[in-house]
Amino acid sequence: MTTTNTTNTTNATNTTKVTTTTSSTPHPYWTSVPSPLGPLLLTAGPDGELTSLSVPGQKGGRGVPAGGRQDPGPFRAAEEQLAAYFAGELRDFRLPLHTAGTPFREKVWAALDDVPYGATVSYGEIAARIGASRAAVRAVGGAIGANPLLIVRPCHRVIGADGSLTGYAGGLDRKVRLLTHEGVLRP
């Protein structure tokens, strides 16, 4: 089964269009891209949609897919946009994405797409945005922790209700670096 959702987000300075396709398609392509956070492992489906972006040592991160083919071709746009992001020239990614998650996780991940560059939200705010109860905050945290698209789908912008930098699958040091890069934290 394949489902395609397109989310358009507009704020005062940016418009973001994220297309997310959900199905059980494998990840036939992969590549590694250098970044200030270390090498990024990217995987893509047969149509070139980005299926994951992982960092070394990531909790629950994907590895090189079995039977996958190393090919930088499907990742040219992702590599260019990541370079522009880290150079401070890009705030919103415009890439075709392909994720596979439960309907609840897909709602949480879509809510992440609406968190603007340079801003943070709490887990409770994400729960409210998707219409989940306050009791669902822990489940929201689990869905955020399972985000397969670090950086591109900005789970690093989610913090504790008290402003603390809680959890990040890529490691708190990387979360601090990303939030500092976006101007949320001071160096």
Active site residues: 155
Which residue, 60, 129, 50, is CA-closest to 93? 50
Helix axes 103-113, 137-145, angle to 10 degrees: 80
- Return left, alpha or beta for 182; rule: phi > 0 is left, psi -120 to 50 is alpha, else beta: alpha
d(Cα 37, Cα 126) in Å, to the nearest integer? 26
Describe the strand order of the beta sheet including 96-98 as a list of residue ranges.
3-10, 15-22, 96-98, 50-54, 40-44, 29-33, 69-70
